[in-house]
Amino acid sequence: MKSIKFKGSHDPEKKIVVSLFWTVRKTIREEGCAPVRITSIRTSKRTYEPEGRKLLKLSDEIMEDIIGDIERGNTVEFRMTMGQESLRLWIDNEAFTVETSRTPELEEEIVEKLEHETSKLTPDFCQTFLPKIFPNR
C-alpha cells in the first residue's frame, strides 16, 4: 500500500479523474489491454456496484455523491480489476492511496506519477479516457 498527499489545489473531480487515469495507465504496463472494471465505489452514504453484467461508470448521481463526500472531508474507496490485477484506491481531499493484489511495484509507479501530475497547474490525462468512466461525456 502506497500513499501520497495531493499537491496543488485541484478540485475533487480533477483529483478523481487524474487518479483513475494514471492508475489505469500504469496498470496497462503490467496487464496489457485487459478491460478495466470498477467493481465497487464506497462513499459514506452508499456502496455502488455494477448491476448484472453492466459496467459501473461514474454517472452524474455517483459523481455528486463522491465529490460531496470528498468536500466534506471523507474518503471514497474504489475497487477495480484489470486482467489478473485487483486494485483498491482511496481518495480524499488531501491524499491518494493505492493497494495492488499482485504487483507491489505498481503501487510505487502510480503514486510517483500522481505526485508529479498533481504538482502541475494542469495535470495531464487523455481526454479519450473520460467516456470510458463517465457515461454522459
DSSP states of 65-106: HHHHHHHTT--EEEEEEETTEEEEEEE-SSEEEEEESS-HHH
Domain boundaries, the chain: 2-122
Contact at 8 Å (CB) between 38 and 55? yes
Average the pLDDT over each of 54-68, 77-91, 92-106, 116-130 and give the range with the smallest value: 116-130
With bands split at pLDDT 50, 70 and 90, how would you rate the model's confidence at 106?
very high
pLDDT digits (tens, 9 = 90+) for 19-34: 998 999 899 888 888 8
